[in-house]
Amino acid sequence: MDIHLSKYDEGTLALRFDYDRDTIDLIKTLPGRRWVPEAIAWTVPYTLAMAERLLHAFPDRLNIEAGLREECYLFKTSQNARNRAHDRLLRQQLQL
């Protein structure tokens, strides 16, 4: 299940996903996290440390909004690596 990551405001990121108890439990371990019912999203501080933590906690599950990927080099690098891994998998399947 993917987690959609977007910018909530200048200092905050929003995480949206279908209900999953394990994901919620993991998000609750993040410092500064907050549930925002009107946005139907969890928010976390937008810092480089949090970006690294999210990439580590959800290595293959983050669907990062394009504008955020362009803004933060950590997310851009991560998405490029994810795309390369996906391309490798497709090539392997085509060779079978």
Q: pLDDT at position 86, please?
A: 47
Cα separation, 33 vs 61, whole angstroms = 18
In the chain, where the domains are located:
3-95
Count, residues in the chain: 96
Cα separation, 1 vs 46, whole angstroms = 23
Q: CB neighbours of 22 closer than 8 A, spacing ≥ 6? A: none
pLDDT in tens, 1-19: 799 999 999 999 999 999 9
pLDDT in tens, 58-91: 888 889 998 988 888 888 776 554 554 444 555 6
Rounded to the nearest angstrom, the gap between the alpha carbon of residue 8 and the centroid of all alpha carbons in its chain is: 13
